[in-house]
Chains A and B, each alone.
Chain A
Amino acid sequence: MERDKQQPTLDDRIRFVARHYREGRFDEEAAWRRFASSHGIRRANRFVWRWASAAAVALLFVCSIYYIMYRERQPEWIVVATDARGMKEVYLPDSSCISLAAASEVRYDRKAFGVERRDIRLRGKAFFRVKHEEALPFSVRTEATEVTVLGTTFQVAERRGQTSVDVLTGRVRLEAAGEKVVLTEGMSATYEHGRRRIELAQRQSANVLSWETKVLRFENTPLAEVVHDLEECYGIHILNYKETGQKLTATFRELPVEDVLQIINETLNTEWSYE
Chain B
Amino acid sequence: MVSTADFEYNFKSLYKPLCLFSLQFQGAAEDAEDIVQQAFADVWEKIRAGETILNLKAYLFQAVRNRSLSLASHAPLYETTEQLPDKPDLEPDEQIALAERDARLWSAIDRLPPERRRIFLLSKRDGMKYQEIADLLHISIKTVENQMSKALKTLRDTAIRIYMFFFG
Contact = CB atoms under 8 A, between A and B. Distances in A.
Interface of A: 5-6, 8, 10, 12-23, 25-26, 28-29, 31-32, 34-36, 38-39, 41, 43, 46, 50
Interface residues of B, number: 41
A31 B4 contact: no
Given A8-B83, A35-B40, A46-B5, A18 B33 contact: no
A20 to B, nearest CB: 6
A12 B124 CA distance: 10
A266 B112 CA distance: 111
B90 interface: yes
A21 B121 contact: yes
B152 interface: yes
Contacts of A41: 4, 8
Interface of B: 4-5, 8, 11-13, 15-16, 19-20, 23, 29, 32-33, 36-37, 40-41, 44, 79, 83, 85-86, 89-90, 98, 101-103, 105-106, 109-110, 120-121, 124-125, 152, 155-156, 159
Contacts of A15: 124
Contact of B29 (A10, A22, A50): A22
A180 B57 CA distance: 83
A-B complex: 10 closest residue pairs judged by Cβ atoms: A18-B124, A28-B15, A28-B12, A26-B19, A18-B125, A17-B105, A26-B16, A17-B102, A31-B15, A10-B159
A220 B90 CA distance: 114
B106 A21 contact: yes
Contacts of A28: 11-13, 15-16
A12 B86 CA distance: 12
26 contacts: A6-B90, A10-B159, A13-B101, A14-B124, A14-B155, A17-B20, A18-B120, A18-B121, A18-B124, A18-B125, A20-B29, A21-B121, A26-B20, A26-B103, A28-B16, A29-B12, A31-B37, A32-B15, A34-B37, A35-B40, A35-B41, A39-B41, A39-B44, A46-B4, A46-B8, A50-B5
